[in-house]
Amino acid sequence: MLRIGTRKSKLALWQANFIKEKLEEKGYQAELRLITTTGDKILDSPLAKIGGKGLFVKEIEEALLRGEIDLAVHSLKDVPMVLPEGLTLGAITERESPFDVLLSREGKRLEELPEGAIVGTSSLRRQVQIKRKRPDLRVEILRGNVDTRIRKMEEGLYDAIVLAYAGVKRMGLENRITQVLEDFIPAVGQGSLAIEIREEDERLKEIIGFLDHRESRLRAECERTFLRELQGGCQVPIGAYAWIEGDTLKLKAFISDLKGERFIEGYKEGQKDKAQEIGKGLAHKMLKEGAQEILRSIYGSFGK
Identify the pLDDT of residue 303.
Answer: 47
pLDDT of residue 6: 97
CB 11 within 8 A of CB 167: yes
Q: Is 78 a catalytic residue?
A: yes
Number of Cβ atoms within 10 Å of the Cβ of 196: 24
250 beta partners: 243, 269
Cβ contact 249:242 at 8 Å: yes
pTM summary value = 0.91
* pLDDT band with cut points at 50, 70 and 90 for residue 304: very low
Catalytic residue among 40, 44, 78, 159: 78
SS3 content of the chain, % helix, strand, coil (to 5): 40, 25, 35
**What pLDDT band is residue 41 in, cutting at 50, 70 and 90?**
low
Domains and CATH numbers, the chain: 1-95+192-212 (3.40.190.10), 100-181 (3.40.190.10), 214-304 (3.30.160.40)
Task: Please give the average per-residue pLDDT across 80-89, as a whole number.
Answer: 95
Summarised one tens digit per residue, pLDDT across range 213-243 is 999 999 999 999 999 999 877 789 999 999 9
User: Side chain identity at 106, as an amino acid letter?
Assistant: E
Three-state DSSP at 294 gives: helix
Report how far apart, in Å, the C-alpha atoms of 211 and of each of 25, 194, 301 are: 12, 10, 42
